[in-house]
Amino acid sequence: MRVNISEVAKKAGVSTATVSRVLNNSPLVSTKTKERVLKIIEKLGYVPNHVARSLRSRRTGLIATIIPYSAEYVLSFPYFSIFIKEVARRLAEDGYHLLLTTEEPDDDPIGIYRAFLDRKIVDGFIILDLKEKDERISFLTKAKAKFVVVGRTKDCRDIPFVDTDNMGGACEATTYLLEKNCERILFINGPEDHSVSIWREKGYRAAYERKGLRAENSLILTGNFREESGYKLVKGFSEAFDAIFTASDLMAIGALRALKEINRSVPVIGFDDIPQAQTFSPALSTIRQPIDKVGYEVANSIIVYLETGKKVSKVLDVELIIRESTEVKR
């Protein structure tokens, strides 16, 4: 079995980042540490994949993740920090590095991808915030670039992806509320063209259908996954509702803030299980998706694709977590 960089790091008593620096002859590593790591590499017979590939094909060993949000938003949203940490960790295990950048939502969606490809800066891409008829997918496919997406659309049949069971999670959350005799569930979704929004709305509607009921379109609102959108949509909603399900924890937190201001108390469920879900008061019931595993698996998938040409896709399970926000006396 091929030795990987994490085994070298463990044997040498250093981090994978240190082993990577040794391989790249970085001046940041002391001579003593460098000698120890090189001896372990020789002893284990480790051949760094990215070095071997560079000699043959001039690859860079860099994988790009371009997040289509402002840097300010990315830094404030815990999903991204958890995801990025695991992507970087898995890439480092095989000698790759993550090239991370952000762009404003209104920027040319393919401009930065074209620039990276033209300059041969990266070996592959990890695509986030997938949309139906996504221009990035069309462009990268035509350019014969290698990439993996987080999420699924109808156009992703021949594209490696990693996703969570968004439909199943939304169905489970909605079913839980229906079984608490809440029939008018206000659903605050994300942007309509985002793949996760489409799957989560399907799950919401499926829960009603399984109970022999019909979801009312007027109870489905469009937000943007951010806290303020959940707050404003609940604050401005005039129809009757007896529960709230949101497509993100941040929107659920915003919804809870609004409910407090209008002196209302109804069950609320979010989606993600970000760290604030546990610390917010009341603690938020939510659909937990394994964000760390998504990061690890998408990094693993792009590595496999680059090294073998094999397209690996996975759908990860989610879990309903019940906390204080649904324990409302009615």
Average pLDDT, the chain: 90
Mean pLDDT of 1-17: 83
Which secondary structure element, helix H or strand E, spans residue 149, and what is its range? strand 147-150
Give the list of residues 6+ apart from residue 233 with CB closer than 8 angstroms, or none: 188, 221, 223, 251, 255
Count of alpha carbons within 13 angstroms of residue 166, beta-carbon side: 22
Same domain, 193 and 273: yes
Inside any domain, residue 57: no
Same domain, 100 and 38: no
Q: 52: closest CA among 87, 17, 5, 119?
A: 5
Alpha-carbon 253 to chain mean position: 19
Q: 169: closest CA among 132, 128, 191, 199?
A: 199
Q: pLDDT band for 55, please (50, 70, 90 cuts).
A: very low
Same domain, 232 and 200: yes
Whose tokens are 């002391």? That residue is 30
Q: How many CB atoms lie within 10 A of CB 216?
A: 15
Residue 38 belongs to domain with CATH number: 1.10.260.40
Inside any domain, residue 52: no
Mean pLDDT of 225-252: 96
Would you say 231 and 204 are in contact if contact means Cβ atoms under 8 Å apart? no
Same domain, 154 and 296: yes
> Collapsing DSSP states into helix, strand and coil, what is residue 7?
helix
Same domain, 133 and 190: no
Report the distance separating Cα 200 and Cα 204, nearest Å. Answer: 6
For the chain, what is the domain count?
A: 3
Predicted local distance difference test score (pLDDT) of residue 322: 97
Give the list of residues 6+ apart from residue 227 with CB closer than 8 angstroms, or none: 250, 251, 253, 254, 257
Residue 242 belongs to domain with CATH number: 3.40.50.2300
DSSP 14: S
Same domain, 253 and 299: no
Same domain, 121 and 155: yes
DSSP 180: T
Same domain, 85 and 186: no
Q: pLDDT band for 132, please (50, 70, 90 cuts).
A: confident
Report the distance separating Cα 128 and Cα 215, nearest Å. Answer: 29
Inside any domain, residue 106: yes
Same domain, 159 and 202: no
| pLDDT for residue 172 is more than 90 | yes
39: containing domain:
5-46
Residue 181's identity, in one-letter code, is N
Same domain, 281 and 313: no
pLDDT tens figures, 30-48: 888 988 988 998 888 886 6
Count of alpha carbons within 13 angstroms of residue 25, beta-carbon side: 1
Who wins on pLDDT, 218 or 8?
Answer: 218
Inside any domain, residue 241: yes
Same domain, 259 and 304: no
Inside any domain, residue 56: no
Whose tokens are 């990890």? That residue is 126
Q: Output the pTM of the full model.
A: 0.80
Inside any domain, residue 217: yes
Same domain, 304 and 276: no
